[in-house]
């Protein structure tokens, strides 16, 4: 069935985005401040992350198929968590399809998405996609030929109807407020709003603690989460976010000793540059299993990729957004010891466009010596597309 709102959609080109940059303080306010235990490499020296991308909860709640596909998305995540037992789940944006949600508060659906990790006591981190805070889009069939909507709306869950979408800040406040021990998400610095979900997580070393040599708090991996926009504003990573990244990385990792990984929702234009031709075979050095559409990139590139390519400590970028792509390809960066890998996740949810089998990209990082490997775990348990991101 064709569902009219189901595409990554063209970039919402708002007027030029004026972003006021106040002083950017180096801030990893998160873990310690809230009493959460720090993230740490496991006894085997590994740290495993499951990426849940494009769940698109809450579609067509007034029909049978909407709730049925949400139940199917629950099952995908349960199967992946059973098979992989990750240390962290990253929800890579488009947790909900807000433009198909006539409810005043989308947190209900957002909460259902994160309940997969919460139910198993697995910590998680979220970033925003372009659908999460969209305003409700009226289906054309809800209007009569003279343009007047019918008097009785399809009933939404919860009390009454709401059509404006739930702002990013409200979604994030509800998530972090209700999950103080397991949510590692953060709204990020106010200076970067309307971008919300810009923050850094540190994964601490295991070995140094075991040696008891006073380096108990040494990070061995830095994970940067950025809001790539969309929905209520343009699909971009702003130059203010680039400056924020620069400040954070200089503060936390001045000598580039600690490996770094990057997570956001919408592929940057660099993805389109390295992409194998749509619908062609995925050949080495790229690794993946579906290549069924063109990359739908951010509206502009304002310096983030240059900033990442210059830092040899940045090993890979992970995005969702394109449900018909699941590959990883290397991106040429001059003067790098190792390549910078650009990876798509795998469409995890039964919501959103596309009928490709559902699964999740898994990422496993080893501390000493540092390595990052990735693969895709399917709903039915199959594993494929193993790739080494550090070689
Ligand atoms: C939305 O619901 C969440 C709980 O799901 C709640 O924490 C939050 O306060 C609600 N927000 C509004 C604006 O009602
Ligand atoms: C699992 O699903 C994949 C499609 O992703 C399919 O190719 C494979 O045959 C299935 N394996 C089993 C054991 O059902």
Summarised one tens digit per residue, pLDDT across range 15-62 is: 222 222 223 334 444 444 557 999 999 989 999 999 999 999 999 998
Residues 118-145: tens digit of each pLDDT = 999 999 999 999 999 999 998 887 787 7
Q: Answer for the pair 157, 149: CB distance below 8 angstroms, yes or no.
A: no
Peptide bond connecting 74 to the previous residue in cis, omega within 30 degrees of 0: no
DSSP designation for 208: H
381 Cα nearest atom in ligand 2: 1
pLDDT over 70, % of the chain? 85
Atom 8 in ligand 2: residue holding the nearest Cα = 382
Tokens 């049925």 -> residue: 68
- pTM equals 0.90
pLDDT at site 21: 27
Closest CA to 280 of 325, 328, 339: 325
Question: Pocket residues for ligand 1 (CB within 6 Å)?
Answer: 105, 107-108, 111, 170, 174, 178
What confidence tier does 255 reach under pLDDT thresholds 50, 70, 90?
Answer: very high
Min mean pLDDT across 20-29, 134-143, 307-316, 349-358 is at 20-29
Please spell the DSSP secondary structure of 223-235, one letter per residue. EEE-----SSS-S
Averaged pLDDT, 228-255? 97
Q: What is the length of the chain?
A: 391
pLDDT at site 157: 55
Q: Answer for the pair 305, 380: CB distance below 8 angstroms, yes or no.
A: no
Tell me the two tokens of residue 312: 């040899």
Please tell me the distance from the alpha carbon of residue 371 to that of residue 356, in angstroms, as a whole number: 30
Question: Pocket residues for ligand 2 (CB within 6 Å)?
Answer: 357, 378, 380, 382
Q: What are phi and psi of 243, to 5 degrees?
A: -65, -40
The answer for 389, left when phi > 0, alpha when psi is -120 to 50, beta otherwise, is alpha
Please tell me the distance from the alpha carbon of residue 46 to that of residue 50, in angstroms, as a whole number: 13
pLDDT at site 224: 98
Superfamily of segment(s) 30-388: Metallo-dependent phosphatases (3.60.21.10)
Domain boundaries, the chain: 30-388
List 126's β-bridge partners, or say none: 91
Please spell the DSSP secondary structure of 132-174, one letter per residue. TTPPPPPPGGGS-TTSPPPSSPPPPSSSS---S---HHHHHHH
Averaged pLDDT, 265-279? 97
Give 114 Cα–ligand 1 centroid separation in angstroms: 15
User: Residue 187: pLDDT above 70?
Assistant: yes
Burial class (CB in 10 A: 0-12, 13-18, 19+), 137: middle
Task: State the ligand closest to the CA atom of 290.
Answer: 2
pLDDT at site 66: 96
Please name the helix (run of DSSP H) or strand (run of DSSP E) that holds residue 81, with its range, or none.
Answer: helix 65-84
Residues 333-348: tens digit of each pLDDT = 667 878 999 999 999 9
* Alpha-carbon dihedral 239, 244, 245, 249, rounded to 10 degrees: 150
User: Residue 81: pLDDT above 80?
Assistant: yes
pLDDT at site 235: 98
Tell me the two tokens of residue 347: 């469409």
User: Residue 214: pLDDT above 70?
Assistant: no
Peptide bond connecting 369 to the previous residue in cis, omega within 30 degrees of 0: yes
Distances (CA, A) of 68 to 5, 55, 62, 266, 352: 18, 13, 11, 27, 13
Give 290 Cα–ligand 2 centroid separation in angstroms: 14
List 206's β-bridge partners, or say none: none
pLDDT at site 9: 42
User: Residue 192: pLDDT above 80?
Assistant: yes
Averaged pLDDT, 98-127? 96
pLDDT over 90, % of the chain? 77
The span from the first CA to the last CA of the chain, in angstroms, equals 44
Task: State the ligand closest to the CA atom of 177.
Answer: 1
What confidence tier does 156 reach under pLDDT thresholds 50, 70, 90?
Answer: low
């Amino acid at each position: 069935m064709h569902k009219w709102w189901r595409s990554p959609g063209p970039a919402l080109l708002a007027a030029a985005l004026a972003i006021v940059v106040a002083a950017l303080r180096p801030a990893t306010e998160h873990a310690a401040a809230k009493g959460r235990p720090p993230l740490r490499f496991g006894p085997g020296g590994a740290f495993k992350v499951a990426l849940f991308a494009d769940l698109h909860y809450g579609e067509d709640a007034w029909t049978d198929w909407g709730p049925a596909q949400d139940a199917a998305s629950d099952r995908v995540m349960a199967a992946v968590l059973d098979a992989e037992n990750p240390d962290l789940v990253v929800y890579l944006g488009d947790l909900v399809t807000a433009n198909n949600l006539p409810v005043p508060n989308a947190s209900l659906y957002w909460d259902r998405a994160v309940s997969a990790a919460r139910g198993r006591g697995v910590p998680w981190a979220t970033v925003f996609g372009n659908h999460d805070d969209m305003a409700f889009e009226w289906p054309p069939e809800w209007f009569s030929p003279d343009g007047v909507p019918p008097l009785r709306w399809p009933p939404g869950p919860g009390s009454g109807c709401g059509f404006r979408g739930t702002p990013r800040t409200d979604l994030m406040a509800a998530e972090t407020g209700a999950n103080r021990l397991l949510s590692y998400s953060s709204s990020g610095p106010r200076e970067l709003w309307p971008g919300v979900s810009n923050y850094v997580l540190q994964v601490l070393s295991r070995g140094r603690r075991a040696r008891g040599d006073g380096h108990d708090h040494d990070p061995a991996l830095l994970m940067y989460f950025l809001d790539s926009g969309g929905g209520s504003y343009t699909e971009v990573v702003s130059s203010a976010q680039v400056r924020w990244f620069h400040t954070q990385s200089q503060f936390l990792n001045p000598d580039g000793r600690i490996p770094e990984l990057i997570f956001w929702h919408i592929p940057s234009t660099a993805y389109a540059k390295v992409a194998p031709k749509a619908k062609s075979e995925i050949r080495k050095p790229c690794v993946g299993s579906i290549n069924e559409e063109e990359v739908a990139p951010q509206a502009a590139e304002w310096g983030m990729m240059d900033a990442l390519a210059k830092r040899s400590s940045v090993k890979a970028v992970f995005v969702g957004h394109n449900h018909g792509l699941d590959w990883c390809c290397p991106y040429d960066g001059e003067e790098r010891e190792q390549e910078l890998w650009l990876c798509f996740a795998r469409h995890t949810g039964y919501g959103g466009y596309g009928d490709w089998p559902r699964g999740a990209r898994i990422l496993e990082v080893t501390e000493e010596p540092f390595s990052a490997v990735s693969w895709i775990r399917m709903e039915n348990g199959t594993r494929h597309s193993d790739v080494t991101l550090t070689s």
